[in-house]
Amino acid sequence: DFLHGYVYGRWPYLYIGIGVGEHPLSPTIARIAGWWSRLFPPRPSDNGASPKPANLAFADTYHGKVVPLSAATQLVTVRENIRLTNLEQVIPYARARDIVLQNPDHIIALQCPCRSARSDPCLPLDVCLVVGEPFASFVAEHIPQRSRWISPAEAVDILRAEDERGHVHHAFFKDAMLGRFYAICNCCACCCGAMQAHQRGTPMLATSGYLNTVDKDLCIGCGDCIETCQFFALTVTGGYAAVDETLCMGCGVCVSHCEQGALSLRRAPAKGEPLEILELMQHIQ
């Protein structure tokens, strides 16, 4: 895991570029990975989100938790060191599900490796937020040309701007990154490798713990929300917006873009617990 984490943190553009199939080495690496998985079959997983063991094993080691804007803001403005472990109800994966924040006000804005790999990416690029130590200092030291130190207030500004662009906030966890939370990525379905992998059946993303709800007294059936949904969970049926609850990840992007105020998020226990860091901290006090 140490070597894996070093390679991932030191050369994220190579790592992600290969992963999303946009690098010349992608076909060769894919063949090697296939050979390796046959030689060392993936272990069983307790995730239960996909019938494919290989997909489950990968998702258990590298995954994101959808977080609405308010929850993402909490993650970049918390002022104290935090140690929350075994959050299986919040992060429903067998591995890499801890939140250990050291110096949480140490934040780096990094040019998004997924967007950077694309020939015509969404802009701006510097929207990935690396939060806390040792991750922030590692990125600042090794990738200075594509990263910059920012304050918590600047991080909030980036989150709000990305929300206005219709992009989804994900708190990312990886086993090779000390098995814990290390970054907030602001993602779009057209560029994000994790969102595309999730759509193809690798369950890399966990729902926020919320679901979108439509107020039919306010909804005018305009369909604008359909265009904003990155998870393709909205349609217009019978003159009103309709939510496919099997697809809705509870990101809240459609809520903030509904001019009629007809959409809102509600807690959905069947979808797991939200990553509300202040609430989780209260539970351990």
Identity of residue 68: P
Q: Which two tokens stand for residue 9?
A: 């943190």
Model pLDDT, residue 31: 57
- The Cα 47–Cα 92 span in angstroms is 6
Domains of the chain: 2-207+272-284 (no CATH), 210-267 (3.30.70.20)
CB 182 within 8 A of CB 104: no
> What pTM did the predictor assign?
0.88
User: What residues contact residue 175 under an 8 Å CB cut-off, 6+ apart?
Assistant: 1, 60, 61, 62, 95, 96
Model pLDDT, residue 29: 56
Model pLDDT, residue 50: 42
Question: In the 8-state DSSP scheme, what is residue 42?
Answer: P
Model pLDDT, residue 11: 86
Model pLDDT, residue 24: 66
Model pLDDT, residue 51: 40
- The Cα 213–Cα 115 span in angstroms is 31
Q: Give the chain's length.
A: 285
Half-sphere exposure in the Cβ direction for 83 (13 Å, CA): 1
- Alpha carbon 78 to chain centroid distance? 19
Half-sphere exposure in the Cβ direction for 264 (13 Å, CA): 8
Per-residue pLDDT of the chain (285 residues; tens, 9 = 90+): 678 889 899 989 988 888 776 656 655 655 555 554 554 454 444 433 444 455 657 888 999 999 999 999 999 999 999 999 989 999 999 889 999 999 999 999 999 999 999 999 999 999 999 999 999 999 999 999 999 999 999 999 999 999 999 999 999 999 999 999 999 999 999 999 999 999 999 999 999 999 999 999 999 999 999 999 999 999 999 999 999 999 999 999 999 999 999 999 999 999 999 999 999 998 765
User: What residues contact residue 116 under an 8 Å CB cut-off, 6+ apart?
Assistant: 13, 16, 17, 125, 146
Model pLDDT, residue 36: 46
Residue 124 buriedness (CB in 10 A; 0-12 / 13-18 / 19+) = middle
